[in-house]
A and B are shown apart, each in its own frame.
Chain A
Amino acid sequence: MTAPDTDGPPPVAAESNDAGLNHDAEVNDVAADEDILVRIGRRRAVDFRDQPVDPKTVVAAVRGAESSGISVDCPDPGPGHSTLASPPGVGDGVVSLRASLAAAARSRGLVAPEREELAAVRRSLRGLAADLDAEDAPSADLPAARRRVADAGSRETALRERVAALRGRLNALRERDADEAVLASVEADRREAAARLSEVETERVAAEQALDRAREVVRERRATRDRRLELEDRVANLERAARASLAERVREPFERALERVPRGAGHDGGDGGTGHDGGDEGAGHDACDDSSSDDGSGTVGDARTRWYAAVRVADLRAPVVVAGPDRRFGSAAEAATRLDTPVVWL
């Protein structure tokens, strides 16, 4: 993963490969078995290509994760950073343009009008979830109750057949005046089977009653689950609305930023911008009336161009990771300058 437009071998992390932009990132190998320490210096760029780390690890380290083998000394990431931390296709998941713009807006301190309501609904949801957890633990072990009924039922059937068979045998023996001892032995077997049958019947009835009770309890709890689902849907709708309103507020600066970041080769004015990342973070559009795919709404550029522009619009103090092919900058320092954001160059 070397930058396509870099001359020569990748440089040592602490040094710059181009004389004009000598950024002052520091990389200290403190000790062989300790974390690599990265400091984002004054020029806010660090070239990290010669280190065997993947973007996810670096993003996690920027976000303060410990014991990943690397630690990054940088300001607190703040709102919006997690969504914008790495380019599309490099981090995990697909982030829609709307989500990226909303993150950029949050990083600039903008607050969605839905925030208060969202917080309130989330609180109710947490309360409900706690109720459900507490309820689920002790009683209503429905699967166990079902199994108990099924087991008792099949044992009952087997015993009933055995009792009938023994009775038949007894009658047959009586008809041909069989030996008293044989009769007594079969009769004893029959009695024993009959006694066990009656025990199993009792057990089956008890098991059925227990199952009925457990079902009743579970049925009542479904009302709580229904309520939880409603709240979950409301949270999702509010989040969607919040993203939409936040994104709208940085739409204009974003359009301008698109003109200031490098386009990919062959993408100039290119693919119309829609469709690449249409889905609004995957999970499902139930109760979602605005699942519009107009995410790109006329903006130009491919996913990476849009990411660059969103990062440029964002006010991030912690670095983003620039990695993968098609990075379009000559160096970490250039990226940091053009994106107006600290950069870790992998």
Chain B
Amino acid sequence: MLLVVTYSRAARTTLRNVCRTHEGSVVRRFGRAALVESTEFGALLALRLREKHGADVQLERTEPLNEFERVPASVREAATAYESRDSPSTPYAKFAAGSDHPAPETLRDREL
């Protein structure tokens, strides 16, 4: 999908109008941002906004995340284990330190 984020009142107003007019092509709207369907029409809407508001409009292309395809098992397992931890107040760094789970710094250095 296309993610449209606005950074000015004028751009936000245009986005709101576009979303109202083209509900069918807008997957979801969040205040000053919206997810637009990934079609050439969606691209037309997004580019129109950029054309009008320049750098006050950020466009990104998003895709759903299949964690079984893109995320290493160690990370998935760490997430599962951390969410079922005994003490809710333990930060992840501390949780990982006494276990086989990867340290946060290690994870930060690895591109997905």
Chain A residues packing against B (C-beta within 8 Å)? 136, 142, 218, 221-222, 225-226, 228-229, 232-233, 236, 283-284, 286
Contact = CB atoms under 8 A, between A and B. Distances in A.
B13 A284 contact: yes
Contact of B9 (A218, A222, A226, A286): A286
B7 A226 contact: yes
B32 interface: yes
Contact of A218 (B16, B31, B55): B55
A286 B31 contact: yes
Nearest to A225: B7
Interface string B1-43: 0000001110011001000000000000001100000000000
A228 B7 CA distance: 8
Interface of B: 7-9, 12-13, 16, 31-32, 55-56, 58
Contacts of A136: 55
Contacts of A226: 7
B2 to A, nearest CB: 15
Contact of B13 (A222, A225, A283): A283
B30 to A, nearest CB: 12
B8 to A, nearest CB: 6
B55 A229 contact: no
A281 B8 CA distance: 18
Nearest to B9: A232
A240 to B, nearest CB: 13
Given A284-B13, A284-B16, A228 B58 contact: no
A316 to B, nearest CB: 30
